């Protein structure tokens, strides 16, 4: 019989330079979950900032309106104009004094005020707080709209608008 050729399967030869460790498989990072989480945190932060800004604007404007009414009740029109932003007297210093005097003469002393609405607007010209108050005076009621400009020292009167049926008498 002749020589038979046999196919034999040999085990693989080991790598003479095996790697020290196999690279670990990294778990798949689901990027959209992190993006959603970070976006949610950012939106919550913005809402908190806006809310605290509105709260602070309301607190400061209530105090400023109360101070304004004290000065108006004491006929301290010069002080009101002096403490106000220069834009308040853009129609003239004497005209501003006469306007405040006329408001006090027609309405009398302010006895109470209730905040109606608040709007804060931050622009390149400054941060403005516009607030409306339903106010009671000794000789009638009025709706007052105050525009304050925020400064380092607090709020300064920028504009004042008052509506009342007492002006029609």
> What number is the average pLDDT over the span 147-160?
89
pLDDT in tens, 28-62: 666 767 677 777 776 665 665 555 556 666 778 88
Residue 2 lies in a domain: no
Length of the chain: 169
Domain contains 133: yes
CATH number at residue 84: 3.10.450.50
Query: Is 74 part of any domain?
Result: yes
Candidates 60, 40, 38, 58; CA nearest to 50 is: 58
Domain membership flag for residue 150: yes
Q: Please check whether residue 20 lies inside any domain of the structure.
A: no
Helix (H, G, I), strand (E, B) or coil at 109: coil
Structurally, the chain folds into a number of domains equal to: 1
Residue 135 burial (C-beta neighbours within 10 Å; 0-12, 13-18, 19+): buried
Q: Is 152 inside a domain boundary? A: yes
Question: pTM for this one?
Answer: 0.68
Residue 4 belongs to a domain: no
DSSP string, 26-67: PPPP-HHHHHHHHHHHHHHHHHHHHHHHHHHHHHHHHHHHHH
15 in any annotated domain: no
């Amino acid at each position: 019989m002749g020589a038979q050729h046999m196919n034999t399967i040999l085990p693989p030869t080991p790598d003479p330079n095996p790697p020290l460790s196999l690279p670990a498989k990294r778990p798949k990072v689901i990027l959209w979950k992190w993006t959603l989480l970070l976006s949610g945190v950012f939106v919550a932060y913005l809402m908190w900032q806006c809310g605290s800004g509105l709260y602070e604007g309301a607190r400061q404007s209530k105090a400023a309106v109360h101070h304004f009414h004290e000065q108006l009740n004491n006929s301290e029109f010069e002080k009101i104009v002096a403490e106000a932003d220069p834009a308040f007297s853009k129609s003239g210093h004497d005209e501003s004094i006469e306007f405040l005097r006329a408001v006090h003469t027609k309405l009398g002393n302010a006895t109470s005020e209730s905040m109606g609405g608040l709007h804060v607007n931050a622009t390149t010209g400054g941060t403005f707080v516009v607030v409306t108050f339903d106010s009671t005076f000794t000789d009638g009621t009025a709706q007052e709209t105050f525009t304050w400009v925020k400064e380092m020292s607090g709020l300064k009167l920028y504009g004042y608008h008052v509506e009342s049926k007492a002006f029609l008498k």
